[in-house]
């Protein structure tokens, strides 16, 4: 989509095609991590938290990321499997908001993605007790070196607690910056097997 094309002209039925176009443009335009997104989760008592993660897959099946399920976000996901995502592409003056339920990806998919990561990242995942208290950085470095020695002559195995999750969207909202705060918003809401959408006042 051209940066100046109005959301008023976007087809009503396919938010994933629009997201795919915007995401491809963001990967070209953003100086780093065009796939970065804010992930908001909450405890069962609705206490929220938010952090940046990286999108690793997207399409009609949902929006996929990976994490240590022993981390704070992992524990919140397992206890309250609902989330919100926010992409903010400042260079393009665009945002996308996504809300929906979370489901784990299957083990084969998680294994395949873990195997595609840099070996150093694999070792880091093995060595880190993400979100747990750490007495000194040296402890983490030592654990990394121990993992490196343990797997010196073989492939690094995916830790069983290192999981993938997919946000199955119920709502996808697109936002474009316009001069004088006359911004544009279009909100897509799941409607049976399809999607309904409407423009929103900014």
Average pLDDT over residues 91-98: 96
Asked whether residue 89 is domain-assigned, the answer is yes
pLDDT for residue 176? 94
pLDDT for residue 11? 61
pLDDT digits (tens, 9 = 90+) for 79-93: 999 999 999 999 999
Asked whether residue 60 is domain-assigned, the answer is yes
pLDDT for residue 14? 86
pLDDT for residue 6? 73
pTM given for the model: 0.90
pLDDT for residue 4? 55
Q: Among residues 195, 133, 44, 141, which one has the least CA distance to residue 186? A: 195
Asked whether residue 70 is domain-assigned, the answer is yes
pLDDT for residue 35? 97
pLDDT digits (tens, 9 = 90+) for 98-145: 999 999 999 999 999 999 999 999 999 999 999 899 999 999 999 999
Which domain range does residue 14 map to?
Answer: 7-109+162-200
Asked whether residue 131 is domain-assigned, the answer is no
How many domains would you assign to the chain? Answer: 1
Q: Which residue's structure tokens are 């996929």?
A: 64
Asked whether residue 154 is domain-assigned, the answer is no
pLDDT for residue 8? 73
Q: What is the CATH number of the domain that holds 88?
A: 2.30.110.10
pLDDT band at 5 (very low <50, low <70, confident <90, very high): low
pLDDT digits (tens, 9 = 90+) for 139-172: 999 999 999 999 999 999 999 999 999 999 999 9
Asked whether residue 24 is domain-assigned, the answer is yes
> Strand (E) positions, 57-107?
57-59, 62-68, 82-89, 94-104
CA gap 55, 51 in Å, rounded: 13
Mean pLDDT over all residues of the chain?
A: 93
pLDDT digits (tens, 9 = 90+) for 15-33: 999 999 999 999 999 988 9
pLDDT for residue 2? 46
Helix 137-150 to helix 119-127 angle (10° resolution) is 120
Which are the catalytic amino acids? 181
Asked whether residue 40 is domain-assigned, the answer is yes
pLDDT digits (tens, 9 = 90+) for 19-68: 999 999 999 999 889 999 999 999 999 999 999 999 999 999 999 999 99
Burial class from Cβ neighbours inside 10 Å (0-12, 13-18, 19+) for residue 67 reads: buried
Asked whether residue 16 is domain-assigned, the answer is yes
pLDDT for residue 12? 64
CA gap 161, 171 in Å, rounded: 29
Residue 112 phi/psi, 5-degree rounding, is -65, -45
């Amino acid at each position: 989509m051209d940066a100046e094309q109005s959301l008023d002209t976007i087809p009503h039925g396919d938010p994933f095609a629009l997201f795919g176009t915007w995401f491809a443009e963001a990967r070209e335009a953003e100086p780093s991590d065009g796939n970065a997104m804010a992930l908001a989760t909450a405890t069962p008592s609705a206490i929220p938290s938010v952090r940046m993660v990286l999108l690793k897959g997207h399409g009609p099946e949902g929006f996929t990321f990976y994490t240590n399920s022993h981390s704070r976000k992992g524990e919140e996901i397992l206890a309250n499997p609902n989330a919100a995502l926010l992409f903010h592409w400042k260079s393009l003056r665009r945002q996308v908001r996504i809300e929906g339920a979370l489901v784990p990806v299957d083990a084969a998919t998680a294994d395949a993605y873990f195997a595609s990561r840099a070996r150093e990242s694999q070792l880091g995942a093995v060595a880190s007790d993400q979100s747990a208290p750490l007495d000194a950085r040296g402890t983490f470095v030592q654990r990394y070196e121990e993992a490196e020695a343990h797997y010196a002559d073989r492939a690094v195995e995916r830790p069983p607690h290192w999981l993938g999750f997919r946000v199955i969207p119920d709502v996808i909202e697109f936002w474009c910056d316009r001069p004088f705060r006359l911004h544009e918003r279009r909100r897509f809401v799941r409607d049976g097997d399809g999607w309904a959408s409407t423009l929103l006042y900014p």
